[in-house]
A and B are shown apart, each in its own frame.
Chain A
Amino acid sequence: MRVLKISRDQLKKWLDELSGTVDLYVPMPAGKQVHRFEPYTTFEELDLSYTRTVLPPKKFVFPPEEVLFNRAPSGETTVPDLPARDLVLFGVHPCDINGIRILDTFFSSFDKPDWYYQRRRARLRIVGLSCLPDEHCFCRSMDCDSAASGFDLFFHDIDPENQDRGEKVFFVSLGTVEGDIMLADRADTLPEAEPEELEALLEYTERRESAYTLDLDPSILPQAIKLHQADPLWDRLGEQCLACGVCSLGCPTCTCFNIRDTNDLEGGSSRVRNWDACLYRDFARVAGDHNFRPHRSERIQNRYYHKQVGFAEAFGKPSCVGCGRCIKLCPTGIHFVEVFQSLARERLPVDE
């Protein structure tokens, strides 16, 4: 492995400079233990040791609301422009990088690419940042605890508790030539990490490995769901679930949307898409008022089925990266990992 080193001061200087040429978004504190990707202001304000943002970075490629086109009273149709500058997301954790890779696969599927996703994705650059797991993280179980690719640059901060030391150093991996371009001729001048520093990076990785408290065996997930479609657990979850949809809205890989028209006072209209959630009652309702999933228990089972079985069968891997947002956000404490642990336990003989 070959990685470069960049000092804290150099990093600050680079971000200051970069924010002048691109739309730069970074993780910022937004209340007690709450973080958001916000426009870069100063280096001192960004939080390099954050765990997760409330909303995943999908909002930059698939915004909560997006105008598909405007239609003038004359019938002329126009598609809104995007800002001309590239958008750089700095500080994206491996789970979220993997989340964007899943979105890339999904939004280009069936030889029918999503034009709006593609054009936002084309201007997005991703700068990854290492992290330590908290009690909601299960990315390791979903094989998303590291990002093999999907980033332009990746920064390792092996001493995240210490942010202020002047001699602090980050390790940098280049993922793409875009990463090199972003560094604007710096890559050539940055020193390579010494063998003992790589050793320290390895130790950090081991420390991170042992910090996970949640664990599940992903190989059981498809079977656990398929074999237990009539399990009373789903009824219990249906009782507990408020169908608020926050698990989907906060999910880095949930992509469902509604399309609707809005009108302006001049006689024009716009076609708009908004995030939707499969837990909402109307999600599978069709004309004539037939609802294919009228009960919450059916909708919650469908969500688990789609993410762990259906998506995996269609696209080769589950649409879950183990970021823990659904667990953290659920107002009634429905716990993704515990649901599966419970389903898996029920496969064991009763006299365990």
Chain B
Amino acid sequence: MNNLYLTADWTILEIREIIPGHFFVSLSPSGGGGVPEYSPGQFFQISVHGIGEAPVSVSSSPTRPGTLEMCIRKVGRLTAAIAGLRAGNRVGIRGPFGNGFPLERMRGNDLVLLAGGLGIVPLRSLVNYAVDLPGEFGQVTVLYGAGTDAQLLFIDDLLGLSRDINIQLIVQEITGAGPYEERFGDRTGFVTDLIPGSVTRPTRTFAAMCGPPVFYRYAVSALLAEGLSKRLVYMSLERRMECGIGKCGHCGVGYRYTCVDGPIFNYWDAFNMPELIEMREGEPWIS
């Protein structure tokens, strides 16, 4: 039996601050042996020994083997320690964990990917996956919103793909940083504002979304208003996944554990587990 709590040593190949407080990290196993098989939507546990461990979603695609890419926001002790590391330093890695996106079901269909803020990190894995497998998916649309244009992540990366995918950005406030204005003018608002008209084949379109807790109920109801089938709506949900193997209890919601049954959940999962996404008190369930 494997001891699933033990970490493997991985080496940081590259680490850089892509926007203030957000660090892109590229890694590979220190002893060689290659990156273990993983799927877009899964996550790994990253450790700095002596500080601690935290779950981080993967932002690279398994179609580009050799390295694993993550994006880490500096919010606490562990992420601050990671931010202080340099190429060549080692971290502990366990994983992959979680279910990932339902790629087999998604094949042959259009994809609408909705990201709010840091939510673009796991979705970038799926975007690159779809782009790397031409013909496997229909039209890929990325709707991505952030607080300001200075907070948009992977922006050059994503705009570089605009020949293959339809990418729409929106921010709540324009500061003049980056290429936002020249591409999207002075339009401001929320990512949900981009949804109307974005779905052309509502019964052949899978939606995948990731954002802050408050984002889901608005994004889901806007998608359903476009006629999208509920069974095609997927969300990547964050909880405090400490063990990754359904034991520590912190990510438990209803009868599910986010770390083994998720973090990718279907509309009907959320429907059956009212606590799974944030609703306002007294608000009717999204339908």
The answer to whether A290 touches B213 (Cβ under 8 A) is: yes
> Which of A69, A284, A302 counts the most B-chain CB atoms under 10 A from its CB?
A284
Given contacts A77-B6, A286-B238, whether A306 and B50 have CB atoms under 8 Å apart is: no
- For A176, the chain B residues whose CB sits under 8 A away are none
In the complex, B165 has a CB within 8 A of chain A: no
Inter-subunit contact A286/B239 (CB<8 Å): yes
A263/B254 in contact, CB under 8 A? no
The number of residue pairs between A and B whose CB atoms lie closer than 8 Å in the complex comes to 115
Chain B residues 138 to 197 lying within 8 A of chain A, measured CB to CB, are none
Give the docked Cα–Cα distance between A14 and B52 (Å): 47
Given A112-B260, A271-B53, A286-B240, decide whether A229 and B247 contact each other with a Cβ distance below 8 A. Answer: no
Decide if B217 is an interface residue (CB 8 Å cutoff). Answer: no
Contact across chains for A261 and B50 when beta carbons are under 8 A apart: yes
Which size class do A's interface residues fall under? 35 or more
Residue in contact with A71 in the complex, picked from B49, B52, B238, B242, CB distance below 8 Å: B49
CA distance A41 to B252 in the complex (A): 42
User: Is there contact, CB below 8 Å, between A284 and B50?
Assistant: no
Known interface pairs A71-B49, A287-B79. Does A115 touch B246 (Cβ–Cβ under 8 Å)? no
Would you call B54 an interface residue if the criterion is a C-beta within 8 Å of the partner chain's C-beta atoms?
Answer: yes
- Give the residues in chain A near B287, CB-CB below 8 Å: none
Name the residue in A285, A311, A314 with the highest tally of chain B Cβ atoms < 10 Å from its Cβ.
A314
Report how far A288 CA is from B211 CA in the complex, Å: 13
User: Do the beta carbons of B5 and A69 come within 8 Å of each other?
Assistant: yes
From the candidates A112, A256, A312, name the one contacting B249 in the complex (CB within 8 A): A256
Interface residue? B114 (CB, 8 A): no
B257 to chain A: which residues have CB within 8 Å? 110
Give which listed residue, A79, A259, A292, A309, contacts B243 with CB less than 8 A. A259
Is there a chain B Cβ closer than 8 Å to A113's Cβ?
A: yes
- Which of the listed residues B2, B76, B255 has the most CB atoms from chain A within 10 Å of its own CB? B255
Give the nearest-CB partner of B276 in chain A. Answer: A292
**Chain A residues near B79 (CB-CB < 8 A):** 287
| Nearest opposing residue in chain B for A62, CB measure | B247
Q: How far is the CB of B11 from chain A (nearest CB, A)?
A: 12
Partner of A255, one of B75, B213, B245, B249: B249
Contact A68 B255, beta carbon cutoff 8 Å: no
The answer to the question of B248 belonging to the interface, with a C-beta cut-off of 8 Å to chain A, is: yes
Contact of B255 among A106, A278, A302, A314 (CB under 8 A): A314
Asked if A278 and B53 sit within 8 Å, CB to CB, the answer is no
Inter-chain contacts of A234 with B (CB < 8 A): none
Q: Which of B4, B53, B242, B252 contacts A115, CB < 8 Å? A: B4
A290 to B215, CA, bound (A): 13
Known: A259-B243, A263-B50. A283 touches B274 (CB 8 A): no
* Binary A-proximity of B70-93 (CB < 8 A = 1, otherwise 0): 000101100100000000001000
Least distance between A17 CB and chain B CB atoms (Å): 33
Residues of chain A contacted by B90 (CB below 8 angstroms): 75
B70 → chain A, closest Cβ, in Å? Answer: 14
The residue from B2, B240, B260 contacting A110, defined by CB atoms under 8 A apart: B260
> Among residues 63 to 120 in chain A, which have CB atoms less than 8 Å away from a CB atom of chain B?
68-69, 71, 75, 77, 79, 106-107, 109-110, 112-116, 118
* A19 within 8 A of partner (CB): no
Q: How far is the CA of A91 from the CA of B47 in the complex (A)?
A: 42
Q: Cβ of B9 < 8 Å from any Cβ of A?
A: yes
Interface string of A238-262 (1 = CB under 8 A from B): 0000000000000000011111110
A309 in contact with B274 (CB, 8 Å):
no
The smallest C-beta distance from B6 to any residue of chain A, in angstroms, reads: 6
Compute how far the CA of A71 lies from the CA of B9 in the bound complex, rounded to whole angstroms: 12
Closest A residue to B76 by CB, please name it. Answer: A287
Among A77, A107, A285: residue with most chain B CB under 10 A: A77
Contact residues in A for B246 (Cβ distance below 8 Å): 109-110, 112
Cα–Cα, bound, A283→B248 (Å)? 11
Identify which of B212, B250, B256 contacts A256 (C-beta below 8 A): B250
Q: How many angstroms between the C-alpha atoms of A288 and B74 in the bound complex?
A: 9
Tell me if A310 and B252 are in contact (CB < 8 A).
yes
Interface residues of A in 282-323 (CB under 8 A from B): 283-288, 290, 292, 302, 305-306, 309-314
B1 close to chain A: CB less than 8 A: yes
A269 and B248 contact, CB distance less than 8 A? no
Contact A292 B275 (CB under 8 A): yes
Chain A residues with Cβ below 8 Å from B4 are 112-115
Enumerate the 8 nearest inter-chain pairs by beta-carbon distance, A residue then B residue, closest first.
A256-B249, A269-B50, A112-B245, A313-B255, A115-B3, A310-B255, A314-B255, A110-B246
5 contacts between A and B (CB under 8 A): A257-B248, A258-B250, A259-B5, A259-B53, A287-B75
Q: Which residues of A contact B (CB under 8 A)?
A: 68-69, 71, 75, 77, 79, 106-107, 109-110, 112-116, 118, 229, 255-261, 263, 268-269, 271, 273, 276, 278, 283-288, 290, 292, 302, 305-306, 309-314
